[in-house]
């Protein structure tokens, strides 16, 4: 083989080996989730897909996060805000709103109210009912949770946001795992300081922990 041809072939192989995104540079091939176990650095890293750029201790940790995360809004459901009448209250953070002739169940985005059986669970439901039941509201969908409920923000006709009003009254936690809303974070801090609602208890049990203990 001529020297120039051999040199060109070797150079091509070297570039392919060093190029970012290749299997060799990752210390392990990518799996179906776009992630891999890094044999060089340890841990489980994602280079594609839902968790691109994130690292986990193991695949099991990634799968647990994947199960809890919201999915994208399907194209058959509203992707922009709409106005409808509230016809049902499941609990403090879940309401049913009429849209296109039928009632859809909506889970309030970025907050988590006490569960049934928890202190202030019934109070939170009554608070939500008093504010929106039988009234027109504006809903802005964000996506879905693993139970198939649409995640969204619900705004009253006077401009108040139901999500925020619950936190302000001390009847919901800021769901920091799924929300980066600093306004809601501050409302929770203010409610804690004033010991409003559930914050009268110095160590209330967050509903996500309550659900885990009840499994």
3 falls in which pLDDT band (50, 70, 90)? Answer: very low
**For 77-117, how does the pLDDT look when each residue is reduced to its tens digit (9 = 90+)?**
445 789 999 999 999 999 999 998 999 999 999 999 999 88
What is the number of structural domains in the chain? Answer: 2
User: For residue 183, what are the domain limits?
Assistant: 82-202
- DSSP state letters, 107-124: EETTEEPPPTTSTTHHHH
Model's pTM, two decimal places? 0.63
* Same domain for 178 and 108: yes
Contact present, 62 and 51 (Cβ < 8 Å)? yes
Q: What is the CATH number of the domain that holds 176?
A: 2.40.50.90
Please identify, among 68, 91, 116, the residue that sits at the C-terminal boundary of a domain: 68
Catalytic residues: 107, 115, 149
Classify residue 166: in a domain, yes or no.
Answer: yes
d(CA 30, CA 42): 14
Residue 113 resides in a domain:
yes
Does 43 fall in a domain?
yes
CA distance 181 to 202: 24
């Amino acid at each position: 083989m001529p020297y120039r041809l051999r040199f060109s072939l070797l150079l091509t192989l070297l570039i392919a080996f060093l190029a970012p995104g290749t299997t060799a540079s990752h210390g392990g091939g990518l799996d179906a989730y776009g992630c891999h176990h890094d044999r060089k650095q340890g841990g489980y890293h994602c280079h594609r897909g839902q968790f691109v750029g994130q690292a986990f201790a193991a695949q099991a940790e990634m799968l647990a996060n994947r199960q809890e995360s919201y999915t994208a809004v399907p194209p058959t459901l509203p992707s922009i805000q709409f106005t409808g009448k509230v016809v049902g209250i499941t609990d403090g953070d879940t309401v049913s709103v009429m849209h296109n002739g039928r009632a859809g169940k909506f889970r309030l985005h970025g907050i988590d109210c006490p569960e049934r059986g928890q202190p202030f669970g019934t109070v939170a439901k009554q608070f939500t009912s008093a504010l929106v039941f039988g009234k027109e509201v504006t809903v802005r969908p964000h996506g879905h949770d693993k139970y198939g409920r649409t995640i969204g923000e619900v705004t009253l006709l006077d401009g108040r946001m139901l999500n925020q009003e619950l936190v302000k009254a001390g009847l919901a936690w800021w769901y920091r795992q799924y929300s980066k809303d600093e306004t809601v974070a501050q409302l929770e801090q203010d409610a804690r300081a004033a010991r409003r609602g559930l914050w009268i208890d110095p160590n209330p049990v967050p509903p996500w922990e309550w659900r885990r203990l009840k499994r």
